[in-house]
Structure formats: C-alpha cells, structure tokens
Amino acid sequence: MVERRLQPRPGLPGPDVSLIDRLYAARGAGPEHRDLSLKALLPPSELPNIDTAVERLAAAVRNGEHILIVGDFDADGATSVALAVRVLRAFAVAQVTYLVPNRFDYGYGLSREIVDLAATYNPDLVITVDNGVASVDGVARASQHGIDVIITDHHLPGETLPAAVAVVNPVLDGSRFGSRALAGVGVIYYVLAATRARLQADGWFAARDLPVPNLAEFLDLVAVGTVADVVPLDRNNRILVQQGVARIRAGRACPGVRALIEVAGRSPGQLTATDLGYTVGPRLNAAGRLEDMRIGIRCLLSDSLDEARDFATALDHLNRARRELEQGMVADAELIVAGQLQQGDERVGVCLYDPSWHQGVVGIVAGRLKDRLHRPVIAFADAGMGDEIKGSARSIPGLHIRDLLDDIATSYNGLVPRFGGHAMAAGLTIKRQHLNHFSKIFDRRARQRLPQDALEAICYTDGELGAQEMSLGSVDALDAAGPWGQNFPEPLFQGRFELVSQRVVGGAHLKMSLRGEMPGLVDAIAFRRAPLELREPAQVEIAYRLARNTYGGVHTLQLIVEECRAL
C-alpha cells in the first residue's frame, strides 16, 4: 500500500483564524456558503431544455397519460425513480410505473432492448432518470413505438444527443446552469419542482381540491442519492443534502430511508451526510450489484414502515454478501498486482481481470486498488454474454478517466465499443481477447496524461489542532458546519502524539491510546489497520478526524485515524 505524505491543504489560513473559518477558506467557500436554506438554491430556469420537458410532462399529467420512469441500477438511480414515482403520485397521476434494467441482462441505459420491453407497458411518455444522454438508438426505437421520451441525466454526453422531446442535463454544451455537479436525483428533482409550479399556475391542484405538494418533503431521497453517487458537493448540492439530512434527523424521512438507517444500527437524530454514504447508499447499491434494484426501489416506495423493514433487511443481507465477495476479489486483485511487481511490471494505468469476479462488484475493487496504489485502475469481469468483458474504472486527481477512454476509443477503432462516465469513475466494455492490447494502451496513455507529481500520494489535511480545539465542542461545531463530502471534504487534521498503547479490536481494527498536548489520554481507532511494529511508548504522526464516542451513556472524544506512521 502506498504511504501518503501528510500536507496541509493549499490556502489554509493560520491558527489565528477560527476553526470553521479556516476549514471554509481552505475549501474556497466564502461567507455565502454558510447559507444552506432552500431559498439559496439555484433556480431551474437555466437548466438546458427544462421548459420543454416541463411543458410535455405537465401535458401528460393533465391528459391522464401513462408515464413510465426508466432508471439506473445504482443508489442514485433508485432514489431518482422513487422520487419521480412519489411526486407524480402526489400530482394525482393515476398511471405511473417504473422499469429498471437488470444490469446483467440488459446493461446500462435506455437501450433498444429496454425500449422494446418498456413498450409492453404501453406508456405514452417515458422519462429516464440518471441515464439516457447517450441513448441515441434507444430514443429512435421509442419513436418507432410512438413513445415520447424525456431524458433527465447528469452524465457526460457523446457527440450526438438523442432526438428526445427534451434532454435535461446540466453538463450539456452551452448550459448556463450554475452547477454542473447535480446527481441524477437532483436533475429530476428540478424537473418535478418546475412541473409542480406549472401545474399550480394552471390551477391543476385547486380544481381538484388537492394540496399543493411540498417538494421539500422529498429531499431525504435527494440527499441519499446525491451523497451515494459521490458527486461534488458544491453549494447547490450542499443545500439539497443539508435540507434532506435535516428532515431525516427530524423524523420526517420516508419509511424506506428510515428502515435502511435502522437496519444499519444508526440513530436518525444524529445522522450526518457521511453516514448516508456509508450506510444507506451501500445497501441500496448492493441490490443493483448482486440482484435486482427493484428491491431497493420497493423499499423506498413503501408507505408502511413494517414493509420497508422487510425490504431493508433483505438489502442488508445482500450488502453482507457483497462485502464477502468484495474481500475475496480485493485479495485476488492484490495478488495479481504483487505478481506484476515481482516481474518488474510497475504500471501507471492498471488493468485487472479474473474470470471468477462478479461484474457487479468490480467497481468497488477498482476503487480499493486505486486508493492503495494511487494509480488509475480498471477492474474487469466477464459480461456473461459472448466474449465481452465489462470494466469499471476509477481514477486519481489529474486524470479525467472518461476523456481518456474517449481518446482510446477514437484512436483505436472498435477497441472500446461502449463506455461512459465521469472524470473519476467510468465504465466500459471490450472483447476479452483485446484485454492485453487495451491494458498496454491504457498504461501508455495514462503515463502521457499524468504529470509525475500527480503520482505522489499526498494526504491533504486541515493542519494541526490546538489543545483547546481537541474537544467535543469542536465535534459539534464541525457537524453544524457540514455537510461534508466529495470536493468539500470532511475535516482531516494531522498531529504528532505519543503512542501509549495499541491493541486489535473486532478482529481487524487498531485501537490506540494517545497522549498529546491536551490533558490526559485520548482514544483513537484505525479501521482495518494492523498494529504498528514498534515498542510503546513511541512517537507517531497521524491524520485523523474528530468524532464522538458514546458508551454506557458517557460521551468521550475519539480520533478516527486515516494515516499513521512511526517517527
């Protein structure tokens, strides 16, 4: 595993500035970023093609048309589907159904095959959520069936857009929307909010004596999908997440979200955005990775807490099975890399494949190896059809992985027939017999694009804390200053301590007692970390997060250790 060098973040002010002001300044956040109220949300008007989408969707609602939602098979897709169905039902749409492709049978997106399956539902209008921007053939097929399509997506488009009624996507060329970081669930939320406004102006709710839906009540779903999809938490996304988390803490989440939090053993009242990423998101994703995302969607659509608990329990079991698969696959991947290194094959761009691997888990494997090697990694598994293999790519800062795949596909005709994704994560399909050729090209192109200093593993921190800042009061202040997440990282501090004692707990975690400038000892824990090979007491340097440990009703400070080395 690559040892990361600790370094304070660029732009971090000195200790004379208050703790929260230091953290915000280092993240480029001004005073306006403290306002996370809904009134500070960007207006929907500058989202590309939203007016056309709203006009068609409002017409479908007024005319009693059958609306079919086609989603993706991850947590962003599941929350997007659940949000669309719940809100459209609140609009009094009598016929709203959903379809999520099984990733193992149909693959990703609005393909021709999915459209043919959708046509058996006899919809008048198909709305894609979290997919569709690359579905040129699928939309053409829908037109042949006489089905209108509205695409809502946030993935990067190809050279040609589908000929849909509207393609609503904040990253389209010419977009003037102030945030390019919306998750798929954020895009459909904006479309539904604008449609609600149109229907209200038209008197739709008043004429039927219906309450006007308050879309803020659905923000728990938006928060879950946004955090789980690991999109950058710019100010707009932080507002959506903060408002959603506030509703969860207040006990106003839908039964499905409540049940998922409960089965994870977390308390809704103390939930943070980070908790969503580690608890709810993985359990939803496990359904799409191993079986069928419909289990997750049915959980989120449940109106009964008892029913939601049954689905949440099933999702928890799937997540446990996923973790077992992941552990074995990561161990296999590490052996492959170790064998390559023994042969002197030290690659910048790493490709890994094993015929026994599960295609639903290779993304996690790629992510784990990317973190350990500090290299862009693609993990491949058999696609289950013919001689194709599917890869999931994860990148490091400095390399836009989707653009690199585009470069390879353009330069080597037919080598990468299908690909898509974002800067840090992407998916692709290649022929098995092309793997060795592709691996060499991927490594060569990664070397060309990555500057040498980008290959140095650096752990950026928020500097050192003073003794008075090592307190539960700081834990509360950090919680109130969130949400923290992608591109607005959770505060991480560094410091030198005396290691008084260490022991393994839970079979794999390192529990430590440390002494610093503050009075007494402080507890620390490093998850999945072997003991340090030194004799206590000894001096260590660590990177850590502040946390609250509650045991037997007693609250104490605990350090969550991310990096640790002997001095």
Does residue 30 fall inside a structural domain? no
Q: Tokens 């500070």 correspond to what residue?
A: 40
Does residue 219 fall inside a structural domain? yes
Higher pLDDT, 536 or 365: 365
pLDDT at 345 over 80: no
- My answer on whether 60 and 172 are in the same domain is yes
Output the pLDDT for position 468.
92
pLDDT at 383 over 90: no
- My answer on whether 267 and 138 are in the same domain is no
Q: List the CATH number of the domain containing 176.
A: 3.90.1640.30
Does residue 20 fall inside a structural domain? no
- My answer on whether 190 and 236 are in the same domain is no
Of the candidate ranges 159-163, 371-375, 381-385, 470-474, the one whose mean pLDDT is the lowest: 381-385
- My answer on whether 219 and 209 are in the same domain is no
Q: Read off the pLDDT of residues 74-125 as tens digits, 9 standing for 90 and up.
A: 999 999 999 999 999 999 999 999 998 776 666 677 989 999 999 999 999 9
Collapse the DSSP code of 402 into the 3-class scheme (helix H, G, I; strand E, B; otherwise coil) and give the result.
helix
Output the pLDDT for position 105.
64
Q: Which of 455, 489, 510 is the last residue of a domain?
A: 455
- My answer on whether 197 and 262 are in the same domain is no
Output the pLDDT for position 121.
96
pLDDT at 446 over 70: yes
Q: Read off the pLDDT of residues 321-334 as tens digits, 9 standing for 90 and up.
A: 999 999 999 999 99
Q: List the CATH number of the domain containing 479.
A: 2.40.50.460
- My answer on whether 191 and 76 are in the same domain is yes
Output the pLDDT for position 40.
96
Confidence of residue 22 (pLDDT cuts 50, 70, 90): very high
Confidence of residue 443 (pLDDT cuts 50, 70, 90): very high
Does residue 488 fall inside a structural domain? yes
Output the pLDDT for position 1.
62
Does residue 341 fall inside a structural domain? no
Q: Read off the pLDDT of residues 270-286 as tens digits, 9 standing for 90 and up.
A: 899 999 999 999 999 98
Confidence of residue 550 (pLDDT cuts 50, 70, 90): confident
- My answer on whether 198 and 242 are in the same domain is no
Output the pLDDT for position 417.
92
- My answer on whether 481 and 403 are in the same domain is no
Output the pLDDT for position 490.
96
Closest CA to 155 of 74, 83, 273: 74
Q: Average pLDDT, stretch 429-458?
A: 94
- 478 is in which domain, residue-wise? 462-566
- My answer on whether 405 and 360 are in the same domain is yes
Over the chain, what is the mean pLDDT? 94
Q: Which of 213, 239, 260 is the last residue of a domain?
A: 213
Does residue 403 fall inside a structural domain? yes
Show the tokens assigned to 323: 């973790």
Confidence of residue 344 (pLDDT cuts 50, 70, 90): confident
Output the pLDDT for position 508.
86
Q: For residue 325, what are the contacts with CB-CB under 8 A and spacing of at least 6? A: 290, 358, 361
165-168 contact pairs (CB < 8 A, 24+):
165/52, 165/53, 165/56, 166/49, 166/50, 166/52, 166/53, 166/56, 167/48, 167/49, 167/132, 167/133, 168/47, 168/48, 168/49, 168/50, 168/53
Output the pLDDT for position 534.
85
Q: Average pLDDT, stretch 159-180?
A: 96
Q: Which of 455, 475, 492 is the last residue of a domain?
A: 455
Rg (Cα) of the chain, in Å, rounded?
24
- My answer on whether 105 and 144 are in the same domain is yes
Q: Average pLDDT, stretch 402-427?
A: 92
Output the pLDDT for position 159.
87
The number of folded domains in the chain is: 4
pLDDT at 485 over 80: yes
User: Alpha-carbon distance 45 to 48, whole Å?
Assistant: 8
Percent share of the chain, pLDDT over 90 = 83
User: Alpha-carbon distance 277 to 425, whole Å?
Assistant: 16
Q: List the CATH number of the domain containing 423.
A: 3.10.310.30
pLDDT at 553 over 90: no
Buried b (16+ CB within 10 A) or exposed e, 439-471: bebbbebbeebbeeeebebeebbbbebeeebbe
- My answer on whether 219 and 207 are in the same domain is no
User: Alpha-carbon distance 74 to 352, whole Å?
Assistant: 23
Does residue 333 fall inside a structural domain? no
517-524 contact pairs (CB < 8 A, 24+):
517/466, 517/467, 517/470, 518/467, 518/470, 522/470, 522/497, 522/557, 522/558, 522/559, 523/549, 523/556, 523/557, 523/558, 523/559, 524/558, 524/559, 524/560, 524/561
Does residue 326 fall inside a structural domain? no
- My answer on whether 194 and 55 are in the same domain is yes
- Find residue 429's DSSP bridge partners: 390, 418
